[in-house]
């Protein structure tokens, strides 16, 4: 039981390049989330998916797109990377849509945009 896994662990991009961050969970959770972590700002929600086939914007969605490929996988795409997107990205999942549920986090992807 690996929990939440993310690939890659590290990535360096040039401004304007695109890339997709991958996330998978093996806990049969319904909801999945993408956050970014910046110094002094905590974690901010980018996008989330309540269930397979649905996605919604979070607090900071601009410049990102997501795909809930199936129940296990939730990817985050940067179409044209900008230096402001340099951050650590975390994927998380939770069992269902109850707001008392715990979210479980992956190990993160450290992205640098030059």
Which residue of 25, 49, 75, 85 would you call a contact of other proteins, by CB under 8 A? 49
DSSP state string for 62-113: TTEEEEE-SSSBEEEEESS--GGG-EEEEEEEESSS-TTSPPEE---EEEEE
Does position 42 bind other proteins by CB under 8 A? Answer: yes
Say if residue 74 is exposed, middle or buried (CB neighbours under 10 Å; 0-12, 13-18, 19+): buried
103 binds other proteins (CB under 8 A): yes
Backbone phi, then psi, for 33, in 5-degree steps?
-140, 150
**Looking at beta carbons only, is 85 or 94 nearer to other proteins?**
94
Q: Which stretch binds other proteins (CB under 8 A): 17-25, 45-53, 62-70, 71-79?
A: 45-53
Kindly state whether residue 70 participates in binding other proteins, applying the rule CB under 8 A: no
Q: Supply the minimum distance, in Å, between the C-beta of residue 108 and other proteins.
A: 5
Give the β-pairing of 4-7 and 19-25: antiparallel
Which residues would be at the binding site for other proteins (CB under 8 A)?
4, 30-31, 33, 40-45, 48-50, 54, 56, 58, 90, 92, 94, 97-108
């Amino acid at each position: 039981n690996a929990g939440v896994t993310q690939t890659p662990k590290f990535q360096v991009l040039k401004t304007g390049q695109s890339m997709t961050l991958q996330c998978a969970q093996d806990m049969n959770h319904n909801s999945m989330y993408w956050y970014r972590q910046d110094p002094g700002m905590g974690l901010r929600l980018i996008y989330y998916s309540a269930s397979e086939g649905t996605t919604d914007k979070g607090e900071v969605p601009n410049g990102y797109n997501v795909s809930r490929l199936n129940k296990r996988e939730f990817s985050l795409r940067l179409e044209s990377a900008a230096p402001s997107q340099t951050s650590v990205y975390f994927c998380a999942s939770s069992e269902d849509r109850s707001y008392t549920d715990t979210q479980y986090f992956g190990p993160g992807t450290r992205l640098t945009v030059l």
